[in-house]
Structure 1
Amino acid sequence: MPPPSLQAPAAVAMVRPHHFHPNPETAADNAFQRPATAASVAAQAHAEVTEAAARLEAAGVRVHLFDSHDPETPDAVFPNNWFSTHAGGHVALYPMYAANRRRERRSDIIEMLKARYRVQDVIDYSGLEHDGMALEGTGAMVLDHIGRIAYTAQSHRADPVALERFCTHFNFEPMAFATADAQGRPCYHTNVMLCVGTDFALGGFDLIADPQRREAVRARLRESGRDVIELDAHQIGEFAGNALELTGHGGRRLLALSERAAACLTAAQKAVIERSATLLPLRVPTIELAGGSVRCMLAGIHLAPRPDSA
């Protein structure tokens, strides 16, 4: 059995949407988003989350599944943007960039965490929205929980002041960088271009605009002992960077990602990942129309469970 990893939680929170559709309020700066007008997309997204949760549970990941009935929260399926959890019993709530995404924050999810896990404090940054600041959780930041580094692509959704406050409170080193795709657009969330696992990292490093900063990010990941797997522009577009390492049955590590993402990885890339984690592809093509994929759907729970919560 592999040793427990701070990087790979054994439990997640998910939100199953009843009114899913690509969010018009986020389309302007999310190059991954695609329009969808078919009336069936809400039902398809509901089914995809149901199936994904069942697949994760079958693999040994504990899933806390909530339903969203609010028609004003089309992106509710992506809870990792509004809260995160941390070893030692800490929870953070985040300021969101789009006004309708601020409605996604839910007290019932936080109360569940307090009841089922050991929560010491909840630090709420959402008031920064009134100052025009956003920091969209583990979408805006890809956290190395072992090395205590917050890798952050600069964007409207990752305010530098909010980032500094989070890193000060939670003892992370901020490592921010500018990004640009082939059209010169910045990456809207870091977690579509970077995934940090226990023993490997997947990254679209060519998106980092400054060559010196690009090499510095690669170097920090290599210094941590991780294998660095380079993703090209096509693979980033297929959501290969939007993956999350989890812990399943018997302490076995898994890499949850979409079927589309898994299909675009090369045999050599898969071999590196599978030295330490089993690929777990999930079918979420409808949800990917909203510009996010499997990692965005999973809010990892890095908290100690209460003994009576099994």
Structure 2
Amino acid sequence: MITRDLEQFFAAAGKVQPDFGPATARATFLVAPDGFRLAEQSAQDNTYMAAAGAFDANRASQQHRDLQRAIAQVVPTVCFAGNPQTPDAVFPNNVFGTADGRYIVGRMRHPVRQREAERGDIRAFFRDVLGREEVELSTQEHACELTGALVIDRARGLGYCGLSERCDEEGARQMHDAFGLRATLLFDLAAGEYHTNVVLAVLAGRAAVVCPKGFADANAAQAIADFYAPHAVWCSEAEHAAFVGNCIALSGDTVWMSANAAAALTAEHRAQLAAAGLRVEDVALDAIEAAGGSLRCCIGEIY
């Protein structure tokens, strides 16, 4: 089922069991920020991006290595080399995604990012090393930027897809099918928002972080929060701006976010996550955040 109808979606969601698959990834993959700089095409619809002068390639590279070192203590993590011709490739989860037995290649909106889908080495890793079947979405015309646009509750097989210039309704339908989801909720992102995973996270199937200002319809944000209550963090505008919503659970007991996000997270919300059994871990990523994404954006998941 794929629908915009909140009542219909949550009536169905309330009946599913958390038996769709593992709630967190078996492994992760990164792409190094080689040639890290402002991607002018992406800046057209990513208001989080800093000006060109704020980009520090050396600092971004070091912070990215620190990220890999940190999360590798929790889950096996592979890092592919970057490409100076694809400065946004540090956010690979928009282009490559996985589900049981297959990998999905998404359709990016901007040509500078469409080049990322041509990476033969990443495709060969999934196809030849991991033995995954390919689901090719990058050659069709509808934008569908995978787990940037689509936040997935992997335990239940539920999708939350925010529509914007980075994902239209047909693209959402194709992702729903590619990931094999039980039900997907469609809603519009607020003006100025480009990806759902900046304003929403579902953590290990039992908690959610919701940034209500990122939703065009406040009712959609509230309905998602209600579904995961009492373990739903309702972010302030300051937390939203600091990328608290761009967090990820990589195990059943940890949630990862950037150091800036962790500093903005209120004590009340930290306690709320702790009550859900999730300890906050953070990594300094301010240099990478200049590119308009944060920790979750850097992490591709292997299920």
Alignment map for 1:68-83 (pairs within 5 Å): 68=82, 70-83=83-96
Query: Which amino acid is the alignment partner of residue 32 of structure 1?
Result: Y
2 CA distance for matches of 1:89 and 1:22? 35
| 2:155 aligned residue | 146
How much does 1:264 deviate?
Answer: 0.7
Of residues 159, 180, 184, the one that matches 2:168 is 159
Provide Cα deviations, 1:206-238, integer angstroms capped at 9, x if missing partner.
43232433333333434xxx6111001111110
1 CA distance for matches of 2:222 and 2:56? 41
Of residues 108, 113, 119, the one that matches 1:101 is 113
Provide Cα deviations, 1:15-45, integer angstroms capped at 9, x if missing partner.
112200121101121111111326x711221
Q: Say if 2:98 and 2:104, in contact at 8 Å, map to a contact too.
A: yes
Q: Say if 2:242 and 2:264, in contact at 8 Å, map to a contact too.
A: yes
| 1:176 aligned residue | 186
| 2:31 aligned residue | 15
1 CA distance for matches of 2:289 and 2:187? 25
- Secondary structure of the corresponding residue to residue 53 of structure 1: helix
2 CA distance for matches of 1:220 and 1:124? 32
| 1:280 aligned residue | 281
- Secondary structure of the corresponding residue to residue 76 of structure 1: coil
2 CA distance for matches of 1:206 and 1:290? 21
Alignment map for 1:11-90 (pairs within 5 Å): 11-37=27-53, 41-57=56-72, 59-68=73-82, 70-86=83-99, 88-90=100-102
Q: Identity over the aligned pairs, expressed in percent? A: 29
1 CA distance for matches of 2:150 and 2:125? 24
2 CA distance for matches of 1:123 and 1:11? 20
2 CA distance for matches of 1:126 and 1:193? 24
| 1:307 aligned residue | none
Provide Cα deviations, 1:228-271, integer angstroms capped at 9, x if missing partner.
11001111110000011102xxxx53212100001111112112
2 CA distance for matches of 1:165 and 1:60? 32
How much does 1:118 deviate?
Answer: 4.8
Of residues 184, 200, 207, the one that matches 1:194 is 200
Query: Which amino acid is the alignment partner of residue 31 of structure 1?
Result: T
Long gaps (5+) in structure 2: 1-20
Q: Say if 1:227 and 1:272, in contact at 8 Å, map to a contact too.
A: yes
Aligned pair count? 281
Alignment of 1:246 onto 2:254:
no
Query: Which amino acid is the alignment partner of residue 221 of structure 1?
Result: Y
How much does 1:76 deviate?
Answer: 1.0
Query: Which amino acid is the alignment partner of residue 122 of structure 1?
Result: E
After superposition, the Cα gap between the structure-2 partners of 1:166 and 1:261, relative to the gap in structure 1 and judged at 3 Å, is same
Provide Cα deviations, 1:49-72, integer angstroms capped at 9, x if missing partner.
111111112x2321101111x322
Q: Say if 1:154 and 1:186, in contact at 8 Å, map to a contact too.
A: no
How much does 1:146 deviate?
Answer: 1.8
| 1:230 aligned residue | 234
2 CA distance for matches of 1:186 and 1:35? 17
How much does 1:155 deviate?
Answer: 0.2
